Homo-oligomer: A and B are copies of this chain.
Amino acid sequence: MARDVTIGELAAHVGDEVTIRGWLHNLRSSGKVAFLIVRDGMGQVQGVVSAGDVSAEVWAGLESLAYEASLKITGTVREDERAPGGYELSLSDVELLGPSAGDYPIQLKEHGVDFLLEHRHLWLRSPKQVAIMRVRDEVVKAIRDFLYERGFVNVDTPILTGAIGESAGTLFETEYFDLGSAYLAQTGQLYNEATAAALGRVYCFGPTFRAEKSKTRRHLTEFWMLEPEVAWCDSECNMRLQEDLVCYIVGMVVERCRNLLEDALERDISKLEAVQSPFPRLSYSESIERLQSLGSSIQWGEDLGAEDETLVAQDYDRPVFVYNYPKTAKAFYMKENPEDPRTVLCDDLIAPEGYGEIIGGSQREDDYDRLLARIREEGLPEESYGWYLDLRRYGTYTHSGFGLGLERTVAWICGVPHIRECIAFPRTLNRLYP
């Protein structure tokens, strides 16, 4: 009897008769021979049917098969260098398991992006989208392995919070029983600062929410963010950790997803292979000088916009750090730079090839009085920050951390211009469906 296998397992079954369950990706017929391309989520394989090798019923049935019909195909595995994946099946049976309506929305032609997003549940089946999701999975795995090996503990932080985070006005709000409003977390960092004092090296890695009305190719209202936090680590140590992590991620993905990157994503892998430490570093002030010399009108004190990031990174073949921004351009919790109190000890890591910021990190303000003053300056609700201030009352400690945007990192690695393709079901200003 034919053995049930997945397309990924064909290499071990050359010469055997096997059965595969999957979906019809393409079908063409020339007289007495038909060629089916079937995908099962693990891969694609071509099956060849000769009219003489199957029953008349099976042969006749091929005609009515629509894209994405689900099938059980049985046949003998043949090695074939020309075949995608390197194997082909000589089919002895094709059984229809689930028919597909004839109006399958996504055809082998170009569709507009709104149409594709409206059919995201089906668009995800196409080879490029499958490749992006697989790369994303490997990025996640690389991140978790890297941190586990270095003694980090994954401590998940809450989504439902009191009014605490980076900036009000961009918070999603929900009614929370008799306690008034809860807000969806924009960051887990503040909570990480509590757990780092308990566990030394921690990270959270979950969805993050920004009710921003941004419509750029680098914004989603819901995205995943990795946030490590490290006790007894200063800004310098923090940048080294970011550099090591990014090199590790890129290295693992190139190793494990080379075929997906080259074939489905047509990514120039040499660009990724250039991502080696050390990464160049520019102080914020240096970057402003550089931008001005390149014609930008940016002034000292302003945050870098997307165009500035592209400009500042254009001469480098790997990510570049811009560090120690002006206090006014950054969040209240960043530690004042003792060597220049106009600035804070922080960094942004800007990806090459115009992909922009993928990480923002900082050493945290560990002085109780300075932190309280900053909370008041920003007009934040002091009562919500009582526990956060406690971390400075009871054994305050040098600590740093950063946030890595998962979709931005995946977009850069995959060479995809818009991050909406780097999450399964993107949420934007105009989209909540499917």
Contact = CB atoms under 8 A, between A and B. Distances in A.
Interface of A: 6, 8, 21, 23-24, 40-42, 67-70, 97-101, 104, 119-122, 124-125, 129-130, 133-134, 136-137, 140-141, 144, 148, 151, 153-162, 172-179, 182, 184, 191, 194-201, 206-207, 209, 211, 213, 221-222, 224, 231-232, 366, 384, 386-388, 390-398, 423-425, 427, 429-434
User: Closest 6 A-B residue pairs measured CB to CB?
Assistant: A41-B200, A387-B434, A98-B396, A70-B395, A121-B194, A124-B198
Contacts of A42: 151, 200-201
A42 to B, nearest CB: 5
B104 A394 contact: yes
Contacts of A221: 160
A9 to B, nearest CB: 9
Given A133-B153, A191-B424, A395 B24 contact: yes
A99 B155 CA distance: 26
A157 B99 CA distance: 27
B197 A125 contact: yes
Identical copies of this chain, number: 2
A98 B395 contact: yes
A234 B286 CA distance: 61
B121 A177 contact: no
Given A121-B194, A158-B427, A172-B176, 12 more contacts: A8-B151, A41-B197, A100-B395, A134-B153, A134-B199, A137-B155, A141-B148, A161-B432, A176-B432, A177-B213, A191-B434, A387-B434
